[in-house]
Amino acid sequence: MDPKDLGEWNTELLNIAPGVYAYIQAKGGWFINNAGVIVGENDVIVVDSLANSKRTETFIREIRKTTSNPFSYLINTHHHVDHTWTNHMFFPAKTICHTRCREETLKEIDINPYLYTQIFPSLDVEGARATPQDISFEKEVILHQRTREGIREIRLVYVGPAHTVSDVFVHLPQEKVVFCGDLLFAEPCTPFALMGSFPGYIRAIDLLIELRADVYVPGHGPLSRGRRALEKAKEYLSFVRREAWKRFEEGMSVEEAIREIELGEYENWSERERIVGNVERAYRELRGEPVEIPLPELLEILARMMSYRKEVSG
Ligand SMILES: [Zn+2]
């Protein structure tokens, strides 16, 4: 694909199955996540909130063009703040997530959203707030939503640690739709494994492929019909892991490895600076270190990543 074609998609609410919508935000970069809308006979279930009130107001305006039903449930696919920061704007919805997601959201309450702007200066955090979820689960939950045609099954399945420790995907078997959360960064958005696990991430993607859905809604990036975007994301993760492994074996530091790895086709993907966080994760795994990274260390890694971004964008 020509690199200039990689950025061609818009922010819009797309009807992907009867009563089911994907809210895709262009261009899927840092904190610019996608979401989902599942309309029942008397309610609306939303998948993920957004990073700030302005974006959420636009999103809710789009929802209101299709239905006036009240919000019943809001599902958080994982704890990252772009997917949870405006949970409070979907009142009276009850929020649902994995136990680890709720634990991480509780930690977020003590963190001022403006802290993030030290690393991401252009990030708008107006109206951003951590709101702990109402319902949490360990493995799997099924929502049975009444529709005009009957009952719709909505499966929430935990597959972490993968992108983070708290990932769930939302599967609608009748509609053959999956809301992947950040288990899928669709090309040209670069996958991000710093806060998760390479083997877990790759396993989760295999599981998503096995569902044989018609539509996979990524957490970031354009809508994916069929499995191609999943395969591309898996290829990227396998590539990074392999390249990091080689250099770890040669005794190189993380910094040296990052300088040496040739990104090839992934150089044209957006947020290519994620290579810094991804190699960091791969090295931690090779050293047998735990998934959790203390906040000061995490901020330091993110800062290194952003200086790499400045460097490569000239
Ligand atoms: Zn995420």
| H or E segment to which residue 104 belongs | helix 99-108
Domains of the chain: 3-226 (3.60.15.10)
Task: Please identify every residue whose CB atom is under 5 Å from ligand 1, which is an ion.
Answer: 80, 182
Dump pLDDT digits (tens) for 23-77.
Answer: 999 999 999 999 999 999 999 999 999 999 999 999 999 999 999 999 999 999 9
Beta-carbon contacts of 220 under 8 Å, excluding residues fewer than 6 positions away, are 28, 29, 32, 33, 34, 182, 185, 186, 189
Residue 225 CB coordination number (10 Å)? 12
| 163 CA to centre of ligand 1 in angstroms | 7
Please state, in angstroms and rounded to a whole number, the distance separating the CA atoms of residues 139 and 53.
31
| 252 CA to centre of ligand 1 in angstroms | 28
> pTM of whole model > 0.95?
yes
Dump pLDDT digits (tens) for 267-302.
Answer: 999 999 999 999 999 999 999 999 999 989 999 999
Residue 8 is predicted with a pLDDT of 79
Beta-carbon contacts of 277 under 8 Å, excluding residues fewer than 6 positions away, are 192, 193, 194, 301, 302, 305
Residue 2 is predicted with a pLDDT of 41
Alpha-helix residue ranges (DSSP H) falling in 146-293: 198-210, 228-249, 254-260, 274-286
Cβ-contact 163, 182 below 8 angstroms: yes
Closest-CA residue to 79 (of 104, 96, 99, 56): 104
Dump pLDDT digits (tens) for 171-220.
Answer: 999 999 999 999 999 999 999 999 999 999 999 999 999 999 999 999 99
| 272 CA to centre of ligand 1 in angstroms | 15
Average pLDDT value for residue range 156-185? 98
